[in-house]
Amino acid sequence: MEIRLNPKDSKELAKKFKQLLKVDSKEAHRILNEESRAISSNAQKDSPIDTGNLRRNIGYDYQRQNKEAIIYAKAPYSGYLEYGTRFQPAQPYFEPNVNKGVKRIIRRFEIALKNAIK
- DSSP-derived secondary structure for 38-93: HHHHHHHHHS--SSSHHHHTEEEEEETTTTEEEEEE-STTHHHHHH--SSS-----
Q: Give CA–CA dist 72/34, Å, rounded.
A: 15
In a domain, 78, yes or no: yes
The residues with which 59 forms a beta bridge, in sequence order, are: 72
Q: How many domains does the chain have?
A: 1
Model pLDDT, residue 73: 95
Model pLDDT, residue 7: 74
Contact call for residues 13 and 102 (beta carbons, < 8 A): yes
Model pLDDT, residue 118: 66
Range of 51's domain? 7-117
In a domain, 56, yes or no: yes
Task: List per-block mean pLDDT (blocks of 10 residues) for the chain, which spans 118 residues.
Answer: 72 86 87 96 96 96 88 95 96 95 94 83
In a domain, 1, yes or no: no
In a domain, 31, yes or no: yes
Whether this model's pTM surpasses 0.75: yes
In a domain, 29, yes or no: yes
